[in-house]
Amino acid sequence: MQRTLRVALLGVTMLVLAGCSEADQHQIRNLAMPDRASAEGPYTYELWKWAWVAAMVTGVIVWGLIFYAVVKFRRRSDDEVPRQTRYNLPLEVFYTIAPVLMCVVFFFHTVRVQDEVLNLDPEPDMTVEVLGQQWSWTFNHGVGEQENPSATATGDDFAYGSYVYTSGTGANIPTLVLPVDQTIQFNLHSPDVIHDFGVPSFLVKMDVIPGRVNKLQVTPTVEGTYAGKCYELCGVSHSRMLFNVEVVSQEDYDAYLGELADAGNTAEQPLLGGDYVREQAGLDDDSEGHSE
Ligand SMILES: [Cu+2]
């Protein structure tokens, strides 16, 4: 009997492992989280990891009690009636206090991690104005009055506007290019409904709410390409409200801003909602038929 059980267990373990690709095993080690690519990521990941530990400890205790009760109090004869009990005060106190304690512990650590992740540096290295609207994104890189870095190489220096921007549509996903190891503040704007700006690999996200500007600071730590998305159901094309993030070296970032400027993607002010819609529709400020 013992031997049969052991062989069966071994078989199941092998089957489970055989079904796991390298990528699956990586996912399991990461507890289904992406690799951390931001300075904020490890805080979120630690919370996630210890939540798993707490859930597993609770699970083992609960499963243990279930199996104990199943075996210990199984019916031994057809006409057996179990001993009837009620008002077990110690037990009732326990199952009231234990979940409350668990909630308090989860709450405490959630607030602690949230304070850490959402903490705003008064002097971020740079600021990006993010416009989330049904159903795409526009990113305005505030650059101040400065030389066009890509033009410098050709001796063709000129200053460009205070903002360069890139934007997308549902069919043309925009790419947000960021320099590595810089603390970037995202000012989040919405002209229509609530969206949510997030990059899974950064392990942070924040709501984009019309009528207010939410601020989120992220420090990308690993160069690479990541997927970003809207995390808040915001209408029929919500699932297509995607963007790519490319984290690059400072030189590549400067060159990229130069490319945007060369392509004419400059603005005196960040394009926020109404401006952006008018620009896409080819309307200037004097045209009729638009309202704000
Ligand atoms: Cu959205």
| All structural domains of the chain | 34-73+86-119 (1.10.287), 126-280 (2.60.40.420)
Centre of ligand 1 to C-alpha 267, Å, is 24
Centre of ligand 1 to C-alpha 229, Å, is 8
Centre of ligand 1 to C-alpha 207, Å, is 9
Centre of ligand 1 to C-alpha 128, Å, is 18
Helix (H) / strand (E) containing 111: helix 89-118
Supply the pLDDT for residue 161: 58
Would you give per-residue pLDDT tens digits along the chain (292 residues)?
567 777 777 777 777 766 778 888 888 888 888 889 999 999 999 999 999 999 999 999 999 999 999 999 888 888 888 888 888 999 899 999 999 999 999 999 999 999 999 999 998 988 999 999 888 999 998 876 555 555 444 434 445 557 888 888 777 899 999 999 999 999 999 988 999 999 999 999 999 999 889 999 999 999 999 999 999 999 998 999 999 999 999 999 988 988 888 887 887 777 777 665 556 556 555 444 444 4
Centre of ligand 1 to C-alpha 105, Å, is 32
pLDDT tens-digit readout, 134-181: 889 999 988 765 555 554 444 344 455 578 888 887 778 999 999 999
Distance CA 218, CA 119 (A): 10
Look at strands 204-208 and 126-133 and give their pairing. Answer: unpaired
Instruction: Judge contact between 40 and 92, C-beta under 8 A.
Output: no
Centre of ligand 1 to C-alpha 130, Å, is 12
Centre of ligand 1 to C-alpha 237, Å, is 8
Distance CA 176, CA 164 (A): 12
Instruction: Judge contact between 174 and 229, C-beta under 8 A.
Output: no
